[in-house]
């Protein structure tokens, strides 16, 4: 573990109000995070100033000590082990906490496919998630999911029944098993696959963490398969992220009119690939077992999706907005803004802003334009 390099990336995680794109540009220009804390630049004066004022180095040391004690590998965005597909999303994590067979794991498979769905899945959906995951894993595909109850757990179980090479992306610290009934799956993945989190040790599984987690599930994958999902759900949010990132979006057909299948069926109406077996997934991604290929993304990053446009029509908020959402809506009163500008004006982390925007988008209050520009709907 290169503590000297890692500590600067961890420090950047703690600094609020940094534009993600400008931060990445500054890191590239400085040839690493360390220089942001020790040098200066007229081009990125704001970033250098915030970095030099950072003082919570005791927290950084505790994180590094804990990683060494627990056998957790910290992978920075400049490391060769960092997943190349994840670098392409709009807000790639600067640091990944990983546990398991991290080395070369993210790049050795034919493809990575996210299998996701509702926590309250029907027995049929659970069986399909498990069977498809098992067959894909035997074909050489790595299954990605979020270790949640329902479809996620079934997908991981299927992969573990095969070779066990599966990636679980957590919505909490990597040291926390959530839900607790998945402790055996968690341990098996730590032994044979990879556990991934961008959250520091001890971060509880708070609701706002899961949309943040979902962008990593999508970003690690060549395609996303929604097994069963209601219209307003984390799985649908992940599918929208996949569409924005040019990933292949697939869905399994479900019972018409059922609450648990409204979202997944709507994806099929809007052009998602209909999936009934693992062979359908391989065909959709043009993957031949035993042939390792470079998978192209199918739509340009930032392209507006029919799913997102439909999702935003005629929906009104039926819940109380939290303080972050209210602040963001106040900022958007001035007109359409890029996410960087929203982040800077709000003084929040980009992850918090992105989570709030996606939630407001699902509620039909905010709409997204190409290029990560958001506006408040009248």
The pLDDT tens digits for 147-199 are 999 999 999 999 999 988 899 999 999 999 999 999 999 999 999 999 999 99
For residue 222, the model assigns a pLDDT of: 92
Domain ranges of the chain: 1-70, 112-284, 312-376
Spatial separation of the C-alpha atoms in residues 204 and 368, rounded to whole Å: 29
Q: Which residues of 192-230 are buried (b: 16+ CB within 10 A; e: fewer)?
A: ebbbbbbbbbebebeeebbbbbbbbbbbbbbbbbbbbbb
For residue 132, the model assigns a pLDDT of: 97
The verdict on pTM exceeding 0.85 is: no
Spatial separation of the C-alpha atoms in residues 101 and 244, rounded to whole Å: 29
Spatial separation of the C-alpha atoms in residues 259 and 187, rounded to whole Å: 33
CATH topology of domain 112-284: Rossmann fold (3.40.50)
For residue 353, the model assigns a pLDDT of: 85
R_g of the chain computed on alpha carbons: 20
**Mean pLDDT per 10-residue interval, the chain, length 378 residues:** 89 84 88 90 90 94 97 92 87 92 71 95 95 94 96 97 92 96 96 95 90 92 95 88 90 90 92 95 86 40 35 42 89 88 86 80 78 81
For residue 307, the model assigns a pLDDT of: 36
8 Å CB contact between 99 and 190: yes
Query: In 3-state terms, what secondary structure has residue 375?
Result: strand
Spatial separation of the C-alpha atoms in residues 176 and 3, rounded to whole Å: 23
For 312-376, CATH gives 1.10.10.10
8 Å CB contact between 248 and 273: yes
């Amino acid at each position: 573990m290169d503590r000297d390099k890692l500590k600067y990336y961890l420090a950047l995680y703690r600094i609020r109000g940094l534009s993600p794109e400008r931060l990445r540009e500054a890191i590239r220009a400085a040839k690493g995070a360390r220089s942001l804390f020790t040098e200066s630049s007229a081009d990125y004066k704001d970033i250098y100033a915030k970095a030099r004022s950072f003082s919570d180095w005791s927290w950084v040391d505790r994180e590094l000590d804990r990683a060494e004690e627990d056998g957790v590998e910290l992978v920075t965005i400049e490391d060769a082990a960092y997943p190349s597909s994840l670098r392409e999303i709009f807000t790639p994590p600067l640091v990944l906490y990983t546990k398991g067979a991290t080395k070369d794991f993210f790049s050795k498979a034919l493809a990575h496919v996210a299998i996701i769905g509702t926590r309250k899945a029907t027995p049929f959906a659970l069986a399909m998630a498990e069977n498809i995951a098992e067959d894909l894993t035997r074909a050489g595909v790595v299954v990605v999911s979020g270790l949640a109850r329902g479809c996620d757990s079934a997908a991981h179980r299927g992969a573990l029944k095969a070779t066990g090479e599966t990636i679980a992306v957590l919505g909490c610290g990597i040291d926390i098993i959530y839900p607790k009934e998945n402790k055996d799956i968690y341990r098996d993945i730590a032994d044979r696959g990879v556990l991934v989190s961008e959250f520091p040790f001890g971060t509880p599984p708070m609701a706002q963490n899961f949309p943040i987690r979902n962008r990593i599930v999508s970003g690690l994958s060549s395609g996303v398969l929604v097994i069963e999902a209601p219209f307003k759900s984390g799985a649908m949010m992940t599918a929208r992220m996949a569409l924005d990132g040019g990933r292949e979006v697939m869905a399994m057909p479900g019972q018409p009119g059922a609450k648990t299948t409204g979202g997944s069926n709507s994806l099929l109406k809007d052009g998602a690939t209909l999936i009934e077996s693992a062979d359908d997934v391989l065909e959709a991604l043009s993957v031949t077992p035993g042939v390792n290929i470079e998978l192209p993304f199918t739509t340009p990053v930032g392209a507006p999706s029919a799913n997102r446009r439909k999702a935003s029509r005629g929906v009104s908020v039926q819940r109380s907005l939290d303080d972050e959402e209210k602040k963001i809506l106040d900022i958007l009163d001035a007109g359409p803004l890029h996410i960087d500008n929203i982040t800077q004006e709000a003084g929040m982390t980009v992850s918090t802003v992105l989570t709030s925007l996606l939630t407001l988008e699902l509620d039909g209050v905010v709409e997204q334009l190409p290029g990560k520009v958001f506006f408040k709907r009248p």
